[in-house]
Structure 1
Amino acid sequence: MNKITIIGGGNLGKSIISGLASSDIFEAKNITVVDKSKYNLKEVKEKLGVATSQDIITAIKDVKWVILCVQPRQLDVVLDEIKPVLTKDQILISTVTGTSIAEINEFVPTNKVIRVMPNTGASKKLSMTCIAANEDVKEELAIVEKMFDTIGETLVIEERLMQAATVLGASGIAFFLRFLRAMIQGGIQMGFHPHEAQIIAVQTAIGAATLVAENGTHPEREIDKVTTPQGCTIEGLNEMEHQGLSSSVIKGVMASYEKINTIK
């Protein structure tokens, strides 16, 4: 029960591994990472003290949990490879974009499958992880929730919303960072050195998100606290809206959503 194998040591895999290795659920020695890249394996072994392997068959033996953290185009190959040695009591946890539980069960019909979508905030224990499973996986679902609670916030959702969750939660990291970059560039244009602009913009972003998270308020309520009649804040906000800020963000989110629904 306390052994887990992660297949895939890329950026997302490393983030999950980092969070799990520092949790009290798994000891580092009971976490095995499988990857074809010797560089990826060397990095996670040296930094996190987890076990590593390039032998996928050996790595999934005698473990309860197997996290599939590979690209969608790699999934069929991986499932074909592990199918002969999987036992029915092993639980598959899939982070694979665009692949449903039913599609995975076509390869491994006797295994329970839980879909999760964390983001790279997992490496700082700040992930937003959305989780979906079938009705017959309630007991295992509770454990997976606890597992991913160690690396941030979790939310159990209907599987039909997993694509949307990937865009909002995982791609969303990149969306917010692009806005952050723009804020830094504006700061530089006003006269700050780049590192100064970054310090100010980053801390401001953390503060803004924390206000909404901890106060439980709508963003507009917090905006109202900052804007004053005929002030510089409302002037800037209105100009951003005139230039299509909200519309551009929504269009970008929906473009990602349309794209993800074509990925197989």
Structure 2
Amino acid sequence: MTSKNIAILGGGNLGSSIAKGLVKSGLMTPQQITITNLDLELIQHLHDEDGFNITTDNISAINGAQIVIIAVKPTAARALLNQVKDALGNGEHVVISVISGIKIHDLEEILGDMPIIRAMPNTAIAIQESMTALSFNEKGLTYKQEVSEIFNQLGSTMVIPEAQMPAATVLASCGIAFALRFLRAASQGGIEIGFSSKLSLEIAAQIMKGASKLIIENNSHPEPEIDKVTTPLGVTIKSLNKMEYEGFSSSLIQGVVAGYNKILETES
């Protein structure tokens, strides 16, 4: 367990997921985490149900913490950064930004020369199953091991050049939505062939879990695993070929690339 306190500026889905994941991992207690939001009612449940400190005052949250995670929406980022820059300028804080599209250089221009890390997790961080990409500025590298250990408690991490952060955002963060859309479609197909909605969803979810573990635990590639279940003249290959004919892989690839291009447009 770490002895440091964390302030999470922005108690939305991602900010609250990070807080819950840190507590669930045993790395921190709720009392070590302060979550902020302009509307206290929106995060009141995080105090009442989970025991986190909550406030509307970003400055007081920062003053009580050593690590500051900025988790507001990109449209609100610059206003918040300008509001808190003086509180972060005393050299006592490490800033971790999970704001999509805001580069380290942008953060340095507002906050000055201080340890800054960009992190791109996904919402599975709440159950310690995130895939989190990390990029560090020069001063932030001093905290590379400490920050990596924090996010390793919340799933898997990869340290990448910041130039790859747009790709990580689409594949690792948005990818949760892509996987869940497949899950929904598979369960709807299950309903059409006779399963109840509840049972169909349960089957589809377990399929995704099993498929992922086959790749991760066996250090395998999807194609050999697919070959194991595609017998000649069989049902699986018939189904797969129909999906490919209808554009299954192509549409997914195009969706990933479209998201990537959207990020590049936003950042340019």
Give TM-score, length-normalised by structure 1.
Answer: 0.97
Deviations 1:210-236 (A, max 9, x none): 111101110011101111011000000
Structure 1 residue aligned with 2:251: 248
Using the TM superposition, give the Cα deviation of residue 11 of structure 1 relative to its aligned residue in structure 2, in angstroms: 0.6
Q: CA separation in 1, counterparts of 2:96 and 2:253?
A: 30
Shift of 1:22: 2.4
Structure 2 counterpart of 1:117, which letter? M
| CA apart distance, 1:30 | 1.3
Match in the other structure for 2:4: 2
Residue 135 of structure 1 and its aligned partner are, at CA, apart by 3.8
Partners of 2:66 and 2:92 within 8 A in 1: yes
Gaps of 5+ in 1: none
Q: Which residue matches 1:14?
A: 16
Which secondary structure does the structure 2 equivalent of 1:202 belong to? helix
* Equivalent residues of 2:24, 2:127 under 8 A apart: no
Percent identical among aligned pairs is 41
Counterpart in the other structure of 1:228: 231
For residue 229 of structure 1, give the secondary structure of its aligned residue in structure 2.
coil
Counterpart in 2 of 1:171? 174
Q: CA deviation at 1:4?
A: 0.7
Q: Is the 8 A contact 1:21 1:48 kept in 2?
A: no
Q: Which residue of 2 aligns with 1:24?
A: 26
Residue identity opposite 2:112 in structure 1: P
Query: Structure 2: how far apart are the matches of 1:115 and 1:106?
Result: 15
Partner of 1:42: 44
2:213 to 200, 210, 214: 210
Instruction: Provide structure 2 residue ranges, at least 5 long, that are not aligned to the other structure.
Output: none
The alignment yields a C-alpha RMSD, in angstroms, of 1.2
Corresponding residue for residue 105 of structure 2: 102
TM-score (norm 2): 0.95
Q: CA deviation at 1:260?
A: 1.4
| Residues in 2 aligned to 1:62 and 1:12: alpha-carbon distance in whole angstroms | 21
Query: C-alpha distance in 2, partners of 1:40/1:152?
Result: 27
* Contact 2:21–2:128, Cα closer than 8 Å, also in 1: yes
> What is the one-letter code of the residue matched to 2:199?
E
